[in-house]
Structure formats: C-alpha cells, structure tokens
Amino acid sequence: ALIQQSPQPIASPAGTANTQPNVVTQPNIQSLSTSYAATNAAEAYYQQLIAQYGENYQQCLEQVDRSVEELAASDADKQEQPTSKQNNVLIALDASGSMVGKINDETKLDVAKSAIARFVTELPKTTQVGLTVFGHQGSNKEADKAISCAGIDAIYPLAQLNDLQFAQAVDSFQATGFTPMAATLERLNQNLSTYDSSTNQNVVYLISDGTENCDGDPVAAARQLHASNAKVIVNVIGLNVNRADGRQLKAVAAAGGGEYFSAANAVELNEVLLRAKNSSELNQPSTVNLDNQTQEVASLPVNISRLFACITLKMNREFGQIISQTTRLAALTESNSQYNDYALTRLKARQDGITAWRNSLQTKLSDRNNVSVDKLKQELAVVIDSEVASQPEVKNQPQVGTNN
C-alpha cells in the first residue's frame, strides 16, 4: 500500500472501528502543541513505515538448517581441515546493440557495468576475476554480422582484482552488435581448460538482455563447459528480458549446472548477483582456533553464507523502500521533511544495530561455543526490541500489518 498524499488520522480511539485503510499516514505537525507530542507523532510515523516496509530478519535464521553445535561436532571428527580451492570468477557480458536500451533513463549496459564493478569488490579477496565481453564490435546491421559475431574479447584476463585496471576495462567498450553467446561460452571453455576442478572452483556469470543470434547453440556450449575438466558452473542473469528469451537463458543455465536469475532493473541486478554468488558456494578462507592450533579452513558453510546474504538483501530492500516513500512524501509538503528526517535517523540506527549483530556472527560462529540457531534468534530479537524500546512510548500508533 502507498502512503496517502493527504494527511489522515493515525488511528481510531480505543474500542472504535477504524474506517481508514491500513496504510502509512502522515501526522499533522501543526496540531501538536509540545515537542514531546511532536516526537511521539514522528515516532508513530516511523513505526508505521517499519510496519509497512520493514523486513522480517528472523526469516533468514529460519533458513539455516544445521545448528552450530552440529558443525562443531563435525569439526571435532575431522583429523585434517579441508583446503579451500582457488575461486575463479569469469563474467561474460553481452554488449550487443540491444544493450543500449534504457532502464529508468540509464542504458542496460551502464546498469550492468555498475553492478559488475560493485560485485567484484564483494568477492573473497583471494578470488581471481575475469571479464569477457561479446557483441561489442561491428554493428547490428546484417553487413557487419560476421565481424560482430566474432567479436569476443577477454578485456580483463583471469587474475587477482586490480580495482583501477578493472574499472578501465569496464569503461573500454560500448554496446553495438550481435549476440554470439554460444561462441563466447566456447571461448571460455578454452580459456578455463587449464583450471582443473580438483584445485579450482570455476564460476561464470553470463549477463544478457536477449538470446543467441549468431547461429550458435548456447545450450550445447554451456553443457560442454560444465562437463569439461574445469567443471564450470554457468549462472545466467537475464537483464530486463521478455518471457521467451528468459526461457532460453534458463535452459543455458540448466545445461551449465548453474541457476537462472531475472533482473528488471539496477536494484534487482545487484541483488541477484549477490544471490548468485552465494548459491555458487564460493569459499572464503579464514582463520579459526581449534585445540589452540591456528588452521586455515573455509570461513563458513554455505547455509551460513546464505544467512549473511539474506540479511544484507533484506537490509537493502528495507532501506530502498523506506527511502522511496520518504522521498515521495518530502515532495508533497515542506512539513513532511521534519518527520522524514526523524524516520531516516531511526532507520539508520536500526540498520546499524542489525549490521553490528550480523558482523559479529563470524566471530561467534568461529568460536562455536554454546552457540545455536535458537540463541542467534534470541540475540536478533533483542537487537530489534532494544531499538524500539529506546524511544518514547507511542500513543495511538497505527495498526498496520507487518511486512515479511
């Protein structure tokens, strides 16, 4: 439900039926005679925003299907700690002519470039990164088809991330031609042939807004890439694609042993890249202390990695939705800005608390002493409850359904 544009009553008196819709409403600041009442009304406004657009972070913990005690027990049974494989991440980016299409006044290619630049910085530090582009040569005219379909370049060969060099590579091409998706996957097969799966974890993220139009078979090419000695996982992200193209891209991901993700805009693309990263179970080495011996192990099992991703995604979504609504209200009347400033200050405090709790998880899970999923749920509840309890009592707070 959207916030009403004109002021509405916050709630009905006790025992009186409320005929107003369950939407976030704006208190009338001019009707409040004291600073306490103003703060109380602003708090009610913030609580309505949280009730309508706040995320249920407990759901993230419900997804963890193994308790920390079980993980600790499994560690105790192991004589040797596992050695992490080398993570290799290759991004294959469609730079065909259709990528000049706009999403909210920004080209699809620029949306993808920004998301990729952010994504690589969130990978484990030891990850080797590569960027291959296709369709960026020639044009999308039939006379240039041969040139464009042969246009496949590893503009950032697989290596440790150098921020400056990667940024320069991302800025070095524009969208122009056809879509040689199959030939690109075949080229990646050649480039990754020396990265045996016994010592390497190889993952490709293919980002495209359409399907093959250079007469190749991307499904077959993805299948061969996954069946190679490198056992490459091919994840595919459809950027603002139609249903028919989405079906073909999904088939490519299935053949490549990966997953298909759909993103309609920049926010969704950032989210699905994070989801795709965690679904691929990339290992991030870290140090833990077992029997007074410092040993190198994979930092967290995949279900805990997904916990981190789930919390981060919910925080981003909560922040984006509330920012959108408060920005919209600020444009309506000048007085709204006083409530919006208060609400955003409270939102920052809420998310800072959740962030601190999330960041403390790695230490707690590394120690693995008397830590369980139930205990983590209790700790999270305390973080969220203390954020509310620290504020003045809110009178006549609107009764709005809570978002999950």
Mean pLDDT of the chain: 75
Measure Cα distances from 3 to 22, 26, 321, 339 in Å: 10, 8, 12, 13
DSSP letter, residue 96: B
Q: Could you write out the DSSP letters of every residue in 357-395? A: HHHHHHHHHHH-SS--HHHHHHHHHHHHHHHHHTSPPPS
DSSP letter, residue 12: P
Instruction: Please report the pLDDT score of residue 314 as a whole number.
Output: 79
Q: 231: which 2 tokens?
A: 């056992």
Q: What is the 3-state secondary structure (H, E, C) of 160-224?
A: ECCHHHHHHHHCCCCCCECCCHHHHHHHHHHHCCCCCCCCEEEEEEEEECCCCCCCCCHHHHHHH
Q: Could you write out the DSSP letters of every residue in 257-311? A: EEEEEEESSHHHHHHHHHHHHHHTT---EEEEEETTEEEEEESS-HHHHHHHHHH
Instruction: Please report the pLDDT score of residue 383 as a whole number.
Output: 82
Residue range 153-182: average pLDDT? Answer: 92
Which amino acid makes up residue 290?
Answer: L
Residue 259: strand, helix, or coil: strand
pLDDT at 20 over 70: no
Phi, psi of 280 (to 5 degrees): -85, -5
Q: Which residue has the tokens 């400033």?
A: 341
Choose the weakest-confidence range: 180-189, 225-234, 319-328: 319-328
pLDDT at 285 over 80: no
Residue range 291-308: average pLDDT? Answer: 45
Residues 20 and 36: their CA atoms lie apart, in Å, by 25
Choose the weakest-confidence range: 19-28, 187-196, 267-276: 19-28
> Are the CB atoms for 21 and 3 separated by under 8 Å?
no
Q: 68: which 2 tokens?
A: 């920390």
Please state whether the predicted TM-score (pTM) of the whole model is above 0.85: no
Residue range 340-360: average pLDDT? Answer: 84
Instruction: Please report the pLDDT score of residue 257 as a whole number.
Output: 93
Residue range 18-22: average pLDDT? Answer: 42
Instruction: Please report the pLDDT score of residue 157 as a whole number.
Output: 95
pLDDT at 153 over 80: yes
Percentage of residues of the chain with pLDDT beyond 70: 68
Instruction: Please report the pLDDT score of residue 356 as a whole number.
Output: 84
Given the DSSP bridges, would you call strands 128-134 and 86-94 parallel, antiparallel or unpaired? parallel
Q: 97: which 2 tokens?
A: 């002519």
Instruction: Please report the pLDDT score of residue 240 as a whole number.
Output: 93
- Sorted by where each starts, the structural domains of the chain and their CATH numbers stand as 25-83+294-404 (no CATH), 86-282 (3.40.50.410)
Q: 178: which 2 tokens?
A: 């056809």
DSSP letter, residue 86: E
Instruction: Please report the pLDDT score of residue 357 as a whole number.
Output: 84
Q: Computed over its alpha carbons, how large is the radius of gyration of the chain?
A: 25
Q: What is the pLDDT of residues 61-104, one digit of tens each?
A: 765 544 444 444 544 444 444 457 899 999 999 999 999 999 98
> Are the CB atoms for 280 and 236 separated by under 8 Å?
no
Instruction: Please report the pLDDT score of residue 371 as a whole number.
Output: 62
Q: What is the pLDDT of residues 193-246, one digit of tens each?
A: 999 999 999 999 999 999 999 999 999 999 999 999 999 999 999 999 999 999
Residue 367 confidence class, pLDDT cut points 50, 70, 90:
low
Q: What is the pLDDT of residues 105-135, one digit of tens each?
A: 889 999 999 889 888 888 888 999 999 999 9
Instruction: Please report the pLDDT score of residue 12 as a whole number.
Output: 35
Residue from 178, 260, 253, 180 nearest 222 by CA: 253
Residue range 162-185: average pLDDT? Answer: 92
Q: Helix count (H) and strand count (E) of the chain? A: 13, 10
Instruction: Name, in order, each residue with C-beta under 8 angstroms of 304's C-beta and a sequence gap of 6 or more.
Output: 64, 361, 365
> Are the CB atoms for 170 and 121 separated by under 8 Å?
no
Instruction: Please report the pLDDT score of residue 221 as a whole number.
Output: 97
